Amino acid sequence: MGAVVGLAVGRGTGAELAAVFERVLGVLAARHGVAVAVERSPRVYHSYFSLRDEADLAAMRERTREDAEHYEEFCRGLVRRGVDVVFRTAVNAQSLYQVRERLRAVKVDVLGELMVVRDQAQGFYAGENEHSPGVVERTTVFRRDVTRDVLSFALRRARERWPAGPAEVVLAYKFHLLDGAFERWVREFVAEHGVAVRLSQPDTANRDLLAREPLPRTLIVAGNEWGDIMHAVLLHRFGTRRPEDRCGENAYLHPDVAGLVEYQTVHGSADDIAGQGVVNPVATVRAAAAVAERVGCTGAVAEVEEALAALARNGIRTPDTGGHHTTQALVNVLLIELERHDGVPVAG
């Protein structure tokens, strides 16, 4: 019996990118002799733009709730069947963050010697809305047990990457708004685990990043309000890729789904170009390689990066990056480059 991976598809360009994911994953699995089956969610999830067509706010909220409940159960079902990885195209953020709150999600970004772990399970991005005429009231929750889960995961991932452990651990949260409770939880965690942690206001963390380069092996654990806004800035300063070309890794920490990893494109649903065949597939290609590597195709990420570098050198790109190639044409050339990696003659 081979590996099984989950696939969840949103509206907009989701269907086109799902086809890219399945095609690239299939080729990589065949190249490595790994049997892989894809279990696709039966629901196509809304994007924000498809939800705008709902008749009123109540209908929009109901569709949001339905999508969240369905995707949460799909993830739980995957884990019950022994599946530990899923690829998801872009879906409506409000539905997604309901799932992330309930299943305690974090996002991991590695930028050289800097690792950023974004807390997606609590804060403003999580929470619930209440409506009254002319008012939306949003309630957010911070929890001691969730905070401990996030910090424990972040330290574990940092130590996996850096056997010597992180040289510096910074927490970027707006903790001054939480009556001292958050700081107390962090101090308890520090005393228990014997690790030095610097709790920092987001603006202070920004000033520190402007004033000096982070130490090698720096771990930043951040509230998602800061992490989301700073993502493009950190990529520009410490990374080498446009956000639209990257895939993201999310891990779920709730005991019911612990170990489940979700890959996603960093870019959105791109509803405005759906069906035109020109959506940039690079982030999806990278996600397929990451999933392939996870299920046993050792070296798949490096092979795909080499092929993508060849495409970049030859100006093979979609219109969003100044090229003229369609999605399918770019993927076709990519797969030819993968064949060349093995020295296999390419017909024609």
Q: Are 98 and 78 in contact (CB under 8 A)?
A: no
- CA-to-CA distance for 90 and 247, rounded, in angstroms? 11
DSSP string, 286-308: HHHHHHHHHTT-TTHHHHHHHHH
What is residue 342's predicted lDDT score, i.e. its pLDDT?
A: 64
Element housing 261 (H / E): strand 261-265
Give me the residue label for tokens 């706010």: 57
Other CB atoms within 10 Å distance of the CB of residue 3: 20
CA dihedral 251, 37, 304, 331 (to 10 degrees): -120
Element housing 8 (H / E): strand 3-10
- CA-to-CA distance for 15 and 213, rounded, in angstroms? 41
All structural domains of the chain, each given as residue ranges with its CATH number in brackets, are 1-107+243-348 (3.40.718.10), 113-238 (3.40.718.10)
Element housing 85 (H / E): strand 85-88
Amino acid letter, 339: E
Other CB atoms within 10 Å distance of the CB of residue 243: 15
Q: What is the distance, to the nearest Å, from the Cα of residue 3 to the centroid of all Cα atoms in its chain? A: 21
Residues in the chain: 348
Amino acid letter, 195: V
Other CB atoms within 10 Å distance of the CB of residue 133: 4
Name the DSSP class of 175: G
What is residue 56's predicted lDDT score, i.e. its pLDDT?
A: 86
Which tokens in the block code for residue 299? 């070296």
Name the DSSP class of 47: P
Closest CA to 201 of 225, 237, 217, 218: 225
Paired with 169 in beta bridges are: 219
Which residues, 6 or more positions from 92, have their beta carbon under 8 angstroms from its beta carbon?
10, 45, 46, 47, 48, 50, 51, 64, 67
Other CB atoms within 10 Å distance of the CB of residue 342: 8
Other CB atoms within 10 Å distance of the CB of residue 192: 10
| pLDDT tens series, the chain, 348 aa | 589 999 999 999 999 999 999 999 999 999 999 999 999 999 999 999 999 877 788 889 999 999 999 999 999 999 999 999 999 999 999 999 999 999 999 999 999 899 999 999 999 999 999 999 999 999 999 999 999 999 999 999 999 999 999 999 999 999 999 999 999 999 999 999 999 999 999 999 999 999 998 999 999 999 999 999 998 889 888 877 777 889 999 999 999 999 999 999 988 899 999 999 999 999 999 999 999 999 999 999 999 999 999 999 999 999 988 899 999 999 999 999 998 866 444 332
Amino acid letter, 311: L
Which residues, 6 or more positions from 22, have their beta carbon under 8 angstroms from its beta carbon?
7, 38
- CA-to-CA distance for 299 and 20, rounded, in angstroms? 20
Paired with 139 in beta bridges are: 128
